[in-house]
Amino acid sequence: MTTLAILTAAGSGTRLGRDVPKALVDLGGSPLVLHAARCLAASGVVDRIVVTAPAGLAGAVSDVVAADAHVACPVRVVDGGPTRQASVAAGLALAGPEDDVVLVHDAARPLAPPELVRRVVAAVRAGHPAVVPGLPVTDTIKRVSPAAATRASAARPDPGPVVERVVDTPDRALLRAVQTPQGFDRALLQRAHAAGAARAAQEDVAATDDAGLVEALGEEVHVVAGEESALKITTERDLALARVLLEGRR
């Protein structure tokens, strides 16, 4: 009965726009992937970590994470794939029958607190085979038509700005913005990735989270309370906010 954590770090960080992959970008003296690995290790409920590395950087990622004194559990580094889904699948290939719980966590969420990891694992071990952390949303969310954005009329002298047609407004009280780590019964996650394998090669159809693959099987997914500090680093603005949060912790 062990818990394996897959730490996804193989993305390029296009939207951050740095000259190194996002997981290796510095935050307060350590790369994002190291912060995330320390969080997993500090939870006390993770037995092993498999990190997915960008192409050609497995050695560099291993030097950073496996050598760190704060990451006390065994770490293996594998090459990631072309999409996040493919990277998780590559990590999952290293799960064994002894791993009854598998966590999937993003290096892009470096400040997720250890108690969040414990909460997710506790919910899985309490009998929920697929668990995601989630926060209530504060914005009103609109669903828009998938058809291409349009202008009012090309015939008018000034067609105005590009617009999208609103389809509906889901009840905000029923929405959650989900985070990682997400936790799963290992066999269920393997089944979900096997069933969704055809989507893994292409970014436009690949799953953006693992719970989505479980939902596609028709299996239940449950939400536990998320944490503001588990924010995802996508842009420079997120990184600036993370620096402020880290300063506050220190």
Contact positions toward ligand CTP, by CB under 6 A? 8-15, 22-23, 52, 80-84, 87, 106-108, 232, 234
Planar angle of CA 209, 186, 204, nearest 5 degrees: 25
For the bound state, the minimum distance from the C-beta of residue 199 to Mg ion, rounded and expressed in Å, comes to 15
Identify the helix (H) or strand (E) that includes residue 223: strand 222-225
For the bound state, the minimum distance from the C-beta of residue 237 to Mg ion, rounded and expressed in Å, comes to 17
Residue 125 CB neighbour total at 10 angstroms = 16
- Are 54 and 11 within 8 A, CB to CB? yes
CA distance 151 to 165: 11
In terms of CB distance, is 99 or 106 closer to Mg ion? 106
In terms of CB distance, is 82 or 134 closer to ligand CTP? 82
- Out of ligand CTP, Mg ion, none, what residue 199 binds, judged by CB under 5 to 8 A for its kind, is none
- Out of Mg ion, ligand CTP, none, what residue 82 binds, judged by CB under 5 to 8 A for its kind, is ligand CTP
In terms of CB distance, is 128 or 199 closer to ligand CTP? 199
CA distance 52 to 7: 6
- Are 52 and 91 within 8 A, CB to CB? yes
Alpha helices per DSSP H over the chain? 32-42, 58-65, 84-92, 114-125, 186-195, 210-216, 236-249
CA distance 16 to 8: 16
For the bound state, the minimum distance from the C-beta of residue 161 to ligand CTP, rounded and expressed in Å, comes to 25
For the bound state, the minimum distance from the C-beta of residue 11 to Mg ion, rounded and expressed in Å, comes to 5
CA distance 205 to 226: 26
In terms of CB distance, is 18 or 125 closer to ligand CTP? 18
In terms of CB distance, is 23 or 45 closer to ligand CTP? 23
Token pair belonging to 18? 């740095």
For the bound state, the minimum distance from the C-beta of residue 162 to ligand CTP, rounded and expressed in Å, comes to 22
For the bound state, the minimum distance from the C-beta of residue 178 to ligand CTP, rounded and expressed in Å, comes to 12
Question: What is the binding site for Mg ion (CB under 5 A)?
Answer: 11
In terms of CB distance, is 200 or 221 closer to ligand CTP? 200
- Out of Mg ion, ligand CTP, none, what residue 76 binds, judged by CB under 5 to 8 A for its kind, is none
- Are 22 and 12 within 8 A, CB to CB? yes
- Out of ligand CTP, Mg ion, none, what residue 190 binds, judged by CB under 5 to 8 A for its kind, is none
